Amino acid sequence: MDQTPPPEDNHPAGVPDSVHRLWTPHRMVYIGGAAKPPDDRPGPTCPFCRGKDEDDETALVVARGEHTFVVLNLYPYNCGHLLVCPYRHVADYLDLDEAEAGELTAMTRTAIRALAHSYKPHGFNLGMNQGAVAGAGIAAHLHQHVVPRWSGDANFLPIVARTRAMPELLADSRSRLAAAWAEVTAGPAGSASAVSGP
């Protein structure tokens, strides 16, 4: 491919530079906050409230418990990036009741098992961002991040081009993880429990 810039008079906006650009206009919805809840009210503006009522394939839900559910992040840091969310629309970890907090922990542990079973990562990042100032993209509805990590999974793209290369489509990740979830939670008699222990 010829990378010689055309003559200046063909570019009224200025002289082309040497930076290569990967155009991702679909991210403007995320950047603009169009899918984020404007305040603390639950409902159709909150993607997690909306996702809990949609069918699992459409909403990219991997597993459901009594008080919480596990969904793929639409804007993942890594392939298999999961979010563990309470059904109830609460913003603060301290607002969870004991049953919700217990199941959120159990679902997080099972998410790690399912990811380990299906993707064989070398490690994990776990965490919650409480409030917009702490980096919460959707501050109004609590969610726990479970991010699988591999040696060498971070390259120059996020730093130089603010771009991540994702090797698997989200729908394929959902199918793979839902199957792994069923395998790691199957009891001795073959029955599945979403929050089974080790």
Helix (H) / strand (E) element for 146: namely: strand 144-149
CB 143 within 8 A of CB 88: no
Active site residue 143: yes
Strands of the sheet containing 61-64, edge to edge, are 61-64, 68-72, 82-86, 144-149, 123-127
Catalytic residue among 67, 89, 141, 143: 143
Residues forming beta bridges with residue 192, ordered by sequence position: 186
Extract the runs of DSSP E, i.e. beta strands, from 41-116.
Answer: 61-64, 68-72, 82-86
Catalytic amino acids? 143
